[in-house]
Amino acid sequence: MKRRILIIGGGIGGLAAGAALGQQGIDTTVVEIQSENLVAGVGINIPGNALRALRQLGLLDEVLAHGFTFDRVDFHDSASRLLLALRSKLGVDGVPANCAIQRKDLARILEKACVDVGTTIRYGTSVEKMTTTADGGVETLLTDGSTEHYDLVVAFDGIRSSFRKAALGIEPRFTGYSVWRVALERHPDVTRNMYFQGMGTKAGLFPLNTDVMYLLHVTPEPGNPRHAREDFHGHLTQRLAGYTGLIGELRDRIQPDDDIVYAPIEEVLLPLPWYQDGLLLLGDAAHAMAPHRTQGAAMAIEDAAVLGETLGRDGDLRELLAEFQDRRFGRAKIAQDASRNILLSEMNTTDQASLDRQLDFIRNGLEAVAHQVDDALNQPI
């Protein structure tokens, strides 16, 4: 009989899974708590491994058409002196190494892909109650009062997943660092991802399309303070005070009414099993990570592609899900560990001696470490 699957959360992972499962002929519904496809955040980089997963879903060309592709990441000091031009090894097998894109463009592409394969998206809706049934499925009461039976519920409800919290009591772990982001008119020199190592902080630039780029700044925020939105401009420009060169120039262009986004950097790594009592946790709900390898959404997209491929096969659902989670856990951990290692080595630069060591590592050691992770991510998903 045709499987019926409910996805909770219409973010990047949930919509990608809605498309992937729908493509396999699975009767799929996505419930999204927000009343429409509202996308928070600025832009996102999609690395080669996730571009290959998007190709599996037939979405590569459309994503590339809306994004900005590049295969080089340049590392500088805080005065914009180039330390390393790093060529990514992720651009193999016919995809570019990276494609940065505006989040709203990616959301529209994924939403259309769901609609095209008959996946239903119900905005302004969530799950109020779930009860496991004797057949291993789940009886759900939705917030609109309807009740439905599904073979499986997949929670792609993000880093603050209330379904993870209710089932397992697990909260995200704050790393001690946060990231500030703002979209700006693209500077002509920004044709690739660029990073700038400061003392105890790091700035970065991502081109998003020919007109727009975003600036990011990673800073220590002990105690995870809640800054007032009206203070964002002052905090960000003050924290960028030590930078000269390109970042100094761009800092002086940021306006008080620019839409600055501030986010604490947090992690979740759910131990196995990710599947229990009819509920599977995926995406940031299962494996949120520091953004330093731009792999958070990439792993959610990979989850979606592998889930579609696995559940499109006949067989016992529990056995298929056991195989699925074993395939996904190790990969998510590689991406998460690599991202955390970069974050900690960049932030552990609080005096001149440690900063000099980091600059030396960028010049002489970073490429080998980055390529080792690229090789791991280039393995089949």
Residues binding ligand FAD (CB under 6 A):
8-14, 31-34, 44-45, 126, 156-158, 162, 179, 181, 263, 283-285, 291, 294-298, 300
- Minimum gap (Å) between residue 283 Cβ and ligand FAD: 2
Q: Is-contact 32 123, C-beta < 8 A?
A: yes
CA neighbor of 355 nearest in space, from 139, 201, 244: 201
Which of 33, 252, 47 minimizes the C-alpha distance to 158? 33
Q: How far is the CB of 197 from ligand FAD (least distance, A)?
A: 18
Q: In the complex with ligand FAD, which residue's Cβ is closer, 89 or 355?
A: 89
Nearest residue to ligand FAD on Cβ basis = 11
The distance of closest approach from Cβ of residue 45 to ligand FAD in the complex, given in angstroms and rounded to an integer, is 4
Residue whose C-alpha is closest to residue 303's, from 67, 6, 18? 18
Closest CB 297 distance from ligand FAD, rounded Å: 3
- 3-class DSSP state of 70: strand
CB 280 → ligand FAD: shortest distance, Å?
A: 12
CB of 159 to ligand FAD, least distance (A): 6
42 or 362: CB nearest ligand FAD = 42
DSSP structure string for 249-314: HHHTT--TTS-EEEEEEEE--PPSPSEETTEEE-THHHH---GGGS-HHHHHHHHHHHHHHHHTS-
76 vs 287, beta carbon nearer ligand FAD:
287
Residues whose CB falls within 8 Å of the CB of residue 223, separated by 6 or more in sequence, listed in order: none
Between 205 and 300, CB nearer to ligand FAD = 300
Closer CB to ligand FAD, residue 77 or residue 266?
266
> Helix or strand or coil: residue 93?
coil
Q: Which two tokens stand for residue 90?
A: 């992720």
